[in-house]
Amino acid sequence: STVLYNNNFVSREACTVDMEDRGYQFGDGVYEVIRIYSGKMFTSQEHITRLFESAEKIKLDLPFTKEELTKNLSTLVEKNKLHTGTIYLQVTRGASARQHQFPLEGNPVFTAYTKEVPRPENQMNEGVAAIIAEDVRWLRCDIKSLNLLGNLLAKQEAYSQGSFEAILHRDGTVTEGSSSNAFIIKNNQLITHPATNLILNGITRRELLRLCPGIGLDVKEEAFTLDDLLSADEVFIASTTAEITPIVQIDGKDVADRKPGEWTKKLQSVLKASIQ
């Protein structure tokens, strides 16, 4: 397959990143995952804008414009004849002799590749199990940074217990999933953590909040507690890859009747309509 390495379309093997790349040594970089449906990028401008925002927050100057990046990414999708899948893209602060402070000369390294990823029909229809885990991450979760150890440890804990996702909390307040945003429905109202420094403002999150008025679902962007989570009528997570995935079990206990809820199913269907 063809990958993007800085400004060039090269073979996967031709992409050789330096061992002193700051992304490799420090996680000093930012990334995005963009969905491809029917050969086209979904909400690409939102993802690309968020990449630029993440880069600015870590004081990384990107060596291309949004227009140039958009064009290169769609060429990449075409070259790989991708129908349904994802693009993973990242930018690091590049290679320099190891030192914590930024190098004087910026030479960011950009890579992007595509992958076939089907829509997760089964998990969207059946729902998945989740665990609750402490959110031990830093206080800039709004940045889509390569530093993901706090997320990985939580996800691994979920998988080791046979669950799909870890729902994170700080002192009993639910923030988000380890690689998704978290939502509850209570008394016909959708509740999700506000887009602060404590969560990543997901593009799927924004998309589905935008769709709520159309189906008559009231939205409250307000932090909720673990008690609210465990007594919710419906629980789901949302992300680029998982779309809207119902959570039907939490720490081994059933959510409502252990079936995807009605509002969750409605949201899935309007999201599906918006991607086609």
Catalytic residues: 144
**CA nearest to 132, candidates 6, 237, 274:** 237
* Helix 44-57 / helix 66-79 crossing angle, nearest 10 deg: 130
Q: How far is the CB of 162 from ligand PDD (least distance, A)?
A: 21
Q: Would you say 93 or 205 has its CB closer to ligand PDD?
A: 205
The residue type of 86 is T
Q: How far apart are CA 109 and CA 20, in angstroms?
A: 12
Question: Shortest Cβ distance from residue 205 to ligand PDD (Å)?
Answer: 6
Residues engaged in binding ligand PDD (CB under 6 A) = 33, 151, 176, 179-181, 200, 202-205, 239-241
- Residue placing its CB nearer to ligand PDD in the complex, 96 or 113: 113
Q: How far is CA 233 from CA 33, 51, 133, 251, in A?
A: 30, 34, 21, 16
CA 185 to CA 218: how far, in whole Å?
Answer: 10
Give the shortest CB-31-to-ligand PDD separation in angstroms.
Answer: 7
Work out the end-to-end distance of the chain between its first and last CA atoms, rounded to an integer number of angstroms: 26
Calpha distance 180→59 (Å, rounded): 25
- For the bound state, the minimum distance from the C-beta of residue 27 to ligand PDD, rounded and expressed in Å, comes to 13
Chain residue at closest Cβ approach to ligand PDD:
202
Beta strands in the chain (DSSP E): 2-5, 8-11, 29-37, 40-41, 85-92, 109-116, 128-134, 165-170, 173-177, 181-186, 189-192, 218-221, 224-225, 234-239, 243-250, 253-254
Closer residue to ligand PDD (CB): 95 or 133: 133
CA 110 to chain centre: 19
- Pairing relation of β-strands 224-225 and 218-221? unpaired
Nearer of residues 92 and 181 to ligand PDD, judged by Cβ: 181
The nearest distance, CB 96 to ligand PDD, in angstroms, is 26
Nearer to ligand PDD, 115 or 259 (CB): 115
